[in-house]
């Protein structure tokens, strides 16, 4: 929901860093991999209740996630392979954070964390499944024109998810409550994406079928 407002603000901030990285021969895929590995350090840190260390790993991961796409565009290196790598590792990272809290306190966090992970699967699958169909119909993506995949809007997107992770680390004792609230918001996102995506594709298919066939000469 907030991504379309945050992205234009962050983009200029990253530009100067991207220029330096490009001059030093750093590639976007390298940033993606390094950022992912740093982000995954949050999993053991959370499991052993090093909350602020995990928060630092999460923050660095998100900075790298912004830099890799900006670098790819600056260096004209944008590719389907790079976009695929980026989105796949992002979803693995997102799943690792609730898992870390479950490992830290299974008795208190297991149920809420499992529900949250289930809704993450729902938001991710509804997002990616629509992206495949959107590519087929060559749909525009005006709100996120610099993304590698079509972004179907939702109540819970990247910005909201990272804000949740920050809240988890600052108030770990309230993980179950925060996870429950966010899982509910994810459920709304899942419903709206499925409903909106389904009817959008149905209408596109109907429009195609209604087009008259060209007359034979």
| Nearest Cα to Cα of residue 175 among 45, 3, 51 | 51
The question of whether 90 is a catalytic residue gets the answer: yes
CA-CA distance, 42 to 104, in Å (whole number)? 12
Q: What angle do CA 187, 171, 11 make, to 5 degrees?
A: 65
Tokens of 72: 């790819």
CB-CB neighbours of 135 under 10 Å:
12
Rg (CA), the chain: 19
Which residue among 65, 90, 140, 207 is the active-site one? 90
Helix locations, 24-50, DSSP H: 28-40, 42-47
CA-CA distance, 74 to 11, in Å (whole number)? 11
CA-CA distance, 78 to 32, in Å (whole number)? 13
> What residues act catalytically?
90
């Amino acid at each position: 929901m907030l991504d379309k407002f945050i992205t234009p603000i962050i983009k200029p901030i990253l530009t100067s860093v991207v220029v330096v990285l490009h001059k030093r021969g750093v590639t976007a895929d390298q940033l993606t991999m390094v950022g992912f590995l740093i982000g995954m350090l949050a999993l053991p840190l959370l499991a052993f209740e090093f909350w602020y260390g995990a928060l630092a790993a999460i923050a660095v991961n998100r900075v790298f996630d912004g830099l890799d796409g900006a670098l790819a565009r600056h260096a004209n290196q944008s590719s389907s392979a790079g976009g695929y790598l980026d989105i796949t590792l992002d979803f693995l990272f997102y799943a690792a954070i609730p898992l870390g809290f479950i490992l830290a306190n299974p008795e208190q966090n297991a149920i809420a964390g499992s529900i949250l992970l289930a809704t993450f699967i729902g938001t991710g699958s509804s997002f990616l499944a629509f992206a495949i169909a959107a590519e087929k119909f060559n749909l525009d993506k005006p709100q996120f024109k610099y993304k590698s995949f079509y972004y179907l809007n939702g109540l819970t997107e990247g910005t909201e998810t990272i804000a949740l992770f920050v809240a988890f680390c600052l108030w770990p004792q309230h993980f179950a409550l925060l996870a429950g609230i966010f899982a509910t918001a994810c459920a709304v996102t899942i419903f709206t994406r499925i409903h909106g995506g389904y009817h959008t594709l149905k209408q596109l298919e109907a429009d195609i079928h209604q087009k008259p066939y060209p007359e034979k000469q």
